[in-house]
Amino acid sequence: MNRLSTTRSFNDGHDRWEMVDAHPEIRLREVVSCYGWWSELTSSFTTRRELAGTAGTLIVNLGSDLEITDAYGDRHRLRAGEGFIAGTAQTTSLSRSTGAMSGVHVPAPLTTLARIAAVPLAELTNRVVTLDNLPGPESKQIGNRLLDAGSAEDHFRERDSISM
């Protein structure tokens, strides 16, 4: 599939990152805003502030452990192949890398994320719902399927095949 995508990268000799954003298949565009894939290795910082926002996301970690502290202060440590859904936040959250990072990022409408998480929309506010806490066997396989994908396009193709 030829997919419109945008690639951004940075490398100053200390920190490096690459991000690829792409459109989902046409049939999914009403329920998924876009797909993102990233890879980064930083030495100048390990923790970043995730600003409060009105959008939600699904993230699957594909690299070193990722630590998330949600707006309630609850900590989540995600190994490669594990992920989470986050909704709106009224305050800053923190993400901390523990080494070479990579992952898949899926911004989606809050109604889509609430349906995937099988919780009322209000329950996504200020918190993280880990994929291993989602109902159904497929939710536990998402990370493994994405770990097996190679390139960013392989990740996007795999993401298209996972039902929303």
Domain membership of residue 48 as a residue range = 5-161
pTM (2 d.p.): 0.87
* Cα–Cα dist 125/94, whole Å: 15
* 14-70 pLDDT tens trace: 999 999 999 888 888 888 888 899 999 998 888 888 887 788 889 999 999 999 999
Q: Give, for 144, the enclosing helix (H) or strand (E).
A: helix 138-148
CATH number at residue 145: 2.60.120.10
Of residues 161, 46, 37, 58, the one with CA closest to residue 96: 46
How many structural domains compose the chain?
1
* 152-162 pLDDT tens trace: 777 787 777 76
Measure Cα distances from 4 to 28, 45, 59 in Å.
15, 32, 21
